[in-house]
Amino acid sequence: MSDLPFTSIVLAGGAARRLGGIDKPSVRVAGVSMIERVLAAAGPSGRTIVVGPANGPVGVPTIQESPPGSGPVAATGAAFAAVEAEMADVVAILGGDLPLLTAGAIAELRAVAARGRVDGAVYVDAGGRRQWLCGAWRSASVAGRLAALVDSRGSLEGAALSELFGALAVAEVVRAGDPPPWFDCDTEDDIRRAEEWLTG
């Protein structure tokens, strides 16, 4: 493993259409914004970079994908372009709307991604769906897929996460019980449910 600090990329540029187009990561859940909760979980691991609007958290390096709103794969590509030379061997790629994420969950993903013959590790929910924005990945593998997508599509704009990660060797991590660290908040009901988990 590299001796560079573990890297986390937090994607915070979604349109939040089901919440009226607001800045979703800034929405407070049990008194703390979702992005603050994600950054707190990522913080103990090392270096963090946010991809999203310039009005992001103070003191955290923030960049914007081009064009703005061109999707999570383009945002991931922007982060790699900005810091790839200084990126650790394993990188966490996380949604900015995961209020239940913990440092322990990231550590679990990182440990799985760093061992064995896999390119990365993601949580899977009870329905077997891979939670692409709650995963840890070998940086070289992601960089290779980003380059391959640019070659095949011409750009990363509008590319799906399954296009980026689906061709890689993925370890699926199952976590029994609640709260699920991959739980994202797309609706008001989701926010209320997350608050119930957080407040007990």
pLDDT tens digits for range 125-146: 999 999 999 999 999 999 999 9
pLDDT tens digits for range 185-196: 888 899 999 999
Q: Tell me, what CATH number does 142's domain have?
A: 3.90.550.10
For residue 184, which amino acid is it?
D
pLDDT band at 3 (very low <50, low <70, confident <90, very high): very low
Domain assignment present for residue 151? The answer is yes
- 4-18, 26-40, 59-73, 174-188: which has the minimum mean pLDDT? 4-18
Predicted TM-score (pTM) of this structure: 0.92
For residue 105, which amino acid is it?
A
pLDDT tens digits for range 10-34: 999 765 554 555 678 888 999 999 9
Domain assignment present for residue 195? The answer is yes
Domain assignment present for residue 1? The answer is no
Sheet order of strands, 90-95 included: 62-63, 46-51, 6-11, 90-95, 130-138, 120-124, 170-173
Q: Which domain holds residue 137?
A: 6-199
DSSP symbol at 18: G
User: Residue 35 above 90 pLDDT?
Assistant: yes
Number of structural domains (the chain) is 1
Number of helical H runs and strand E runs in the chain: 6, 9
